[in-house]
Structure formats: C-alpha cells, structure tokens
C-alpha cells in the first residue's frame, strides 16, 4: 500500500487512468449484481405465476 502511494506521487496521469478503470469495474460489478438479482426475481415471479395458473 505504501508502494501505491509512491506511484501515485510519481505519475498522477496513470493514477487517473487507474481510478477510471476501477470505476468501470465497479460499474460492471454493480450491473452484474443488479442483473443477477433481476433474473432471480424474474424466476421467482415466473414460478409463482405458473403455480397460480395451475390452480
């Protein structure tokens, strides 16, 4: 972690690109988790609807 601080001081430009990449990764992770939750919800909803239509 101390090394990271030194690198940050040495080149601010690469640090900016790193944070940008990190932001993109975080965005992708958020979208993936949201999509997973949506899929799970859709599956549960579909099962419930199917069960209701049977009875």
Print pLDDT tens along the chain (55 aa). Answer: 566 556 656 566 666 677 778 888 899 999 999 999 999 999 999 999 888 877 6
Q: What is the reported pLDDT for 22? A: 83
User: What's the per-residue H, E or C state across the chain?
Assistant: CHHHHHHHHHCHHHHHHHHHHHHHHHHHHHHHHHHHHHHHHHHHHHHHHHHHHHC
- Residue 26 backbone dihedrals phi, psi, to 5 degrees: -65, -40
Q: What is the reported pLDDT for 1? A: 53
Contact between 14 and 7 under an 8 Å Cβ cutoff? The reply is yes
């Amino acid at each position: 972690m101390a090394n990271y601080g030194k690198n940050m001081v040495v080149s601010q430009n690469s640090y900016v690109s790193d944070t940008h990449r990190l932001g993109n990764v975080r965005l992708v992770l958020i979208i993936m988790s949201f999509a997973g939750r949506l899929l799970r919800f859709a599956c549960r909803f579909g099962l419930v609807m199917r069960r209701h239509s049977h009875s």
